Chains A and B, each alone.
Chain A
Amino acid sequence: MSDRQQIQERLEEWEQGENIGDLPPLVDLMGYEHKVLYTPLDLKGAYLDDVGFPGQYPFTRGVYPAMYRKALMRFPQYSGFGTAEDTNRRWKYLISHGQMTVNLAFDLPTHMGLDSDAPEVEDEVGRVGVAIDSLRDFEVLFDGIPLVPAFFNTVGPAPVLLAMYIATGEKKGLQPSQVMGAFTNDILAICCCRGNWIFPIKPSLRLITDMVEYCCRHMPRFYPQNIQGVYFRACGASLPQELGYTFADAFAYIDDALARGLDIDEFAPRLSFFISCGPEFLAEAAKFRAARRLWARLMKERYNPKDKNSLRIRMTSATGGAYFQAVEPLNNLARGAYAILGAALGGCQAIFIAGYDEAYAIPTEESARLGLRTVQILAEETDVARTVDPLAGSYYIENLTDYIEKEALKYLHQIEDVGGAAAAVESGFMRRELDKMFEVQHGKRVSGEIPVVGVNKYVHEGEEEREPELHEANPEALRIQLERLGEIRSQRDADEVQRLLKRIRHAARAEENLIPHFIEAVRAYATLGEIIGVLKEEFGEFKEPGFIF
């Protein structure tokens, strides 16, 4: 009798002898049935084809050969609020605590391409992020801070903010080729479920490809397109659904860039991804492995790149928003710590956590520092980084990896069957699918089927807890921004600004790459609102799909 047959026999004996069949089945939100026990019988694939070596196709074990043994993950805490001075101070605080990159949070008017003096935005200036109106704000933002790799999490104003970042680099004596960082630029995810779009999809894709093209030609150290799964998860997506929809978006951007005439190997190596992590850290680790293998396989199959770098999926992961609770907020410190285990065991390149007080306000110095420390402690004090892909070979993890890969592919096909990501977003299809999942999840949280400690399980009835010490908005933020806008308007060459805005309008119509025009305009202190205003006139605004309920 072979080994496998022996194991099979013994397994059946064990299952019957221990009445394993009496236990209720356990099926999770992605439809995966978790067995009580996994054995070598559950290992299906071939090591060399399906698991392989890190840094080599299909990259299941890691995008780089030595992974954390060569370089630990980065920990870019998302931060920004008030004025550029406020944010500059917070960044210096985080940098002095060992954060080596910055991850910019912008306020809502900036996301919408509006200046701080736009009508009806006064309540929102500097609230959820930093207010940016012109290059002057960027100069203050990076004052005394070297141009460390900066991650920009916004889409609508992205090309103009990139221009400001390049111009800021110039002032620090840097060529565009020396500027490091990454931009979100995922308009499809934004239009689906983040709610801060500006332009319709077609002109948005054009702007994105302008940025990708510009970065490919001039900025080898800048990643112009970071594709985001996090919002799908926040809106209810299961783990494989997050991957499938994210990949659908990615292929939409790739196809657009190829149609523009870019070569796959010019920009595919410059893509990066932002994927959630959550409490099911074992499944999450499997998800990241599945993501690497599926991406590599699909890229090979669809585009046949020559450069190995085009097959690698670099991932940043974060947890927070959708997962953290308002009840007993300090519990979120534990939630964050457990969730990032999945990202680290799954081999992500950067990891960060929302503030434990996320349910109440944007982070204080202390809650930002705690988030940063949590990742640093994971990286430096635990043994997650001692060897590459430590969970490989686990019967359970390999099984989960296979399952998630298959399911993610189904979700990708689901979107492609309705015409691709752009069509799925415009029609509202993608959001409706997510709504269905969210309702199921929400129902299970309300019923207690999904336990949430302190909220629906082990609930403590008694005196209400004090709210934690919270971040206070800067009451002067609006006044300072308005003053600054007044200053630059009085100091700049108004005619020059008008001329450059006209050039932008012309280039928008002529389908020229707009980035060089934005750079010139921001150098002359044209404001974000002025530039985006011209584009809104030329491109129109995205129409939100109706909500049928």
Chain B
Amino acid sequence: MERKIRVLVAKPGLDGHDLGARMICKVLRDAGMEVIYTGLRQSVGAIVEAAIQEDVDVVGLSILSGAHLGLTRKVVGRLKEEGAGDIIVVVGGLILKEDVTKLKEAGAQAVFPSGTPNQVMVDYFKELEKARSTPAGEETA
């Protein structure tokens, strides 16, 4: 049975650009995920708390202010501290090529710089969904 992927789309830090985040909420929802949007200007603590409370599988950070490295490290770190290190963190926004590797080193499992086609992001989440689902015919006791 496929469990829907739950995604928290989050705007950490002070960045006020939310067009991309709002769009991705709709795109992922239309692709069958359950999506929660934090709204603008969330502290690291608030994002992690929401992620745990909402029992999400993925936290998607949307950052266009250039502050992505520091913020990603903090979110990943705090999730681990709170015992929620299994929650996947992905990052989208204004991210330079040279930062993609650094973000992955910081704990981001996927990076979607601005301009990444929606389908690429949808495919990533659908892969996650497949990996999480219980194969047909295999019942848990």
Contact = CB atoms under 8 A, between A and B. Distances in A.
Contacts of A361: 66, 94, 96
Nearest to A322: B19
A435 B22 contact: yes
Nearest to A442: B23
Contacts of B19: 234-235, 438
Contacts of B43: 120
B66 A547 contact: no
A547 B14 contact: no
A112 B13 CA distance: 11
Contact of A128 (B29, B65, B113): B65
Interface in A322-370: 325-327, 359-361
B40 A326 contact: no
Interface in A512-549: 544, 546-547, 549
Nearest to B66: A127
Given A108-B65, A127-B67, A128-B65, A121 B22 contact: no
Given A196-B14, A435-B22, A442-B23, A120 B67 contact: no
B70 A547 contact: no
B18 A446 contact: no
A467 interface: yes
A546 B38 CA distance: 9
A124 B67 contact: yes
Nearest to A545: B39
Given A547-B25, A549-B25, A124 B14 contact: yes
B115 interface: yes
Given A326-B115, A360-B94, A544-B40, A121 B14 contact: yes
A473 interface: yes
Interface string A115-127: 0000011111001
B85 interface: no
Given A467-B96, A547-B22, A128 B40 contact: no
B66 A196 contact: no
B71 interface: yes
B129 interface: no
B35 to A, nearest CB: 8
A460 interface: no
Contacts of A547: 18, 22, 25, 37, 39
B71 A123 contact: yes
Nearest to B73: A123
B49 interface: no
Interface residues of B, number: 32
B44 A195 contact: no
Contact of B115 (A121, A123, A359): A359
B133 interface: no
A228 B140 CA distance: 59
Interface in A420-464: 435, 438-439, 442, 446, 455
Nearest to A321: B17
B16 A122 contact: no
A95 interface: no
Given A195-B16, A470-B96, A549 B37 contact: yes
* Chain A interface extent, by class: 35 or more
Interface string B53-97: 000000000000111011100000000000000000000001011
A367 to B, nearest CB: 15
Given A234-B19, A438-B19, A123 B67 contact: yes
A108 B14 contact: yes
A194 interface: yes
A327 B22 contact: no
A121 B67 CA distance: 9
A418 B23 CA distance: 26
Contact of A549 (B22, B41, B96, B113): B22
A270 interface: no
A547 B10 CA distance: 13
A124 B71 CA distance: 10
B114 interface: yes
A114 B29 CA distance: 35
B134 interface: no
A196 B40 CA distance: 9
Nearest to B69: A123
Given A361-B66, A547-B37, A196 B29 contact: no
B130 interface: no
Contacts of A196: 14, 16
Contacts of B14: 108-109, 111-112, 114, 121, 124, 196
Nearest to A455: B115
Nearest to A547: B37
Given A470-B96, A547-B39, A549-B22, A194 B16 contact: yes
B76 to A, nearest CB: 14
Contact of B15 (A108, A120, A326, A442): A108
Nearest to B71: A123
Interface in B16-48: 16-19, 22-23, 25-26, 29, 35, 37, 39-41, 43-44
A195 B26 CA distance: 19
B109 interface: no
Nearest to A327: B115
Interface centre among B13, B96, B118, by most A CB within 10 Å?
B13
B25 A360 contact: no
A323 B113 CA distance: 17
A108 B13 contact: yes
A473 B40 CA distance: 24
B63 to A, nearest CB: 9
Contacts of B114: 326, 359
Interface string A391-423: 000000000000000000000000000000000
B108 to A, nearest CB: 15
A198 to B, nearest CB: 11
Interface in B95-114: 96-97, 113-114
Contact of A195 (B40, B69, B97): B40
5 contacts: A108-B65, A111-B14, A128-B65, A361-B96, A547-B25
Interface of B: 13-19, 22-23, 25-26, 29, 35, 37, 39-41, 43-44, 65-67, 69-71, 94, 96-97, 113-115, 118
Closest 7 CB pairs of A and B: A195-B16, A123-B70, A108-B14, A123-B67, A196-B16, A326-B115, A127-B66
